[in-house]
Every structure is written in structure tokens, then in C-alpha cells.
Amino acid sequence: MSRIQLSSSQERVLTALVNLSEGREAPVQGREIADAIDRNPGTVRNRMGSLSTLGLVEGVAGPDGGYIPTDEAYDALGIERLEDAATTPVEREGDPVEDVTVAEIDLSSVANPELCRAELVIRGPVGPFDAGDHVTVGPTPATGLRLSGTVDATNVDGNSLLVRVDGMETPAGGSAA
């Protein structure tokens, strides 16, 4: 099956919709998507029309309406749907961040603890996070890993955080970094 070619604007809107819809029963309103990607709600409405024509989103009318991504949306973006998946909690400054889970942790420079970085691909809004925030992720479902560090940068388009890692722990309490 060939992958649908999306414009950068369509991909940005669709990625935000997918990330905001994870773990929610209700449709995502266009205003929420616009806020998440710092765009005008009219721009989001325009992109939703073309995404709907491509079969990537479904519109839900009414005061509680909005948009729902289709299975094809996940395929078009090359990401896995997290239905029934275990969650990995995230804390910001010691407080749990609601409606956010970590989908992927990519570590770099682990050989040098002074330069250890992690890219956290999250599902949910990136908006609550700013550079300089202290975050803690975990425990992860498979290994129980807990990672903590300071946010160096946020990437709204990729829904990721670049974190300067200052600690990793395993369930046995042994330090991994």
C-alpha cells in the first residue's frame, strides 16, 4: 500500500490531532489543535477539509464535536495506535502531567554521562513543557525504567522533548546513569 503524501501543514495538523486524541473518548476540537501548533483555527479547519477528503479524519458535528483520526491517519504518519497499550507516566516539576504518555525514548551519548540526552516522543500535548523544566518519565511498562532530566527543547511538530538526562533508575534501585 502506498503512503499518502501530505504537505508539511497537513502533516503538522494531523500529527497534533493524533497526539491530542490519544486516551480521549471525545473528539478533539479545532481550537485545541490550533493552540497545540500555534496556528489560526481557520487554518486548521481548512486542513481538516483536505484531510477528511483523504479519509484521514472524521468530523463530528455539534457543540461537543471536533475531529477524530482514522486508522489511515496513523498509517499515513507511520505511527502506531496506542489503544490498549500500557502507559508511561510523565511528571513536570514533580507533578503528574495528565493526558500525556511516552510512546518512545531514544537515548544518545549514554557513554558520557555529562552529555547523555534523550528524545522523548510523547502522545498528548507538548504545550505544558518548556525548556528548563525538570521532568521524570516512568516507570516504563516493560522494564520499570525511570528517567529524569531537564528539558533542553520541545518540538511541537514531532511531539517530542529533548531532555538532558541526569538520572536513570531500574526497579532494583540500581542507577543506570
- Segments in the chain below pLDDT 50: 1, 174
Question: Residue 48: what are its φ and ψ, rounded to 5°?
Answer: -65, -35
Amino acid symbol at 118: A
Grid coordinates of 9: 501543514
> In sequence order, which residues have a C-beta less than 8 Å from that of residue 70 and are 6 or more positions away?
55, 56, 57, 58
Closest by CA to 76, choosing from 98, 101, 55, is 55
In SS3 terms, 108-122 reads as ECCCCCCCCEEEEEE
Mean pLDDT, the chain, whole residue set: 83
For residues 108 and 141, the answer to whether their CB atoms sit within 8 Å is: no
What integer pLDDT is reported at residue 1 of this predicted model? Answer: 47
What integer pLDDT is reported at residue 47 of this predicted model? Answer: 92
What integer pLDDT is reported at residue 84 of this predicted model? Answer: 57
Beta bridge partners of 90: 137
For residues 30 and 41, the answer to whether their CB atoms sit within 8 Å is: yes
Helix (H, G, I), strand (E, B) or coil at 48: helix
Sign for the CA dihedral angle at 167, 173, 176, 177 comes to positive
What integer pLDDT is reported at residue 35 of this predicted model? Answer: 85
Distance of CA 34 to the CA centre of its chain: 15
| Residue 130 to residue 118: CA distance in whole angstroms | 15
pLDDT tens digits, one per residue of 31-58: 988 888 888 899 899 999 999 999 999 9
pTM over 0.85: no
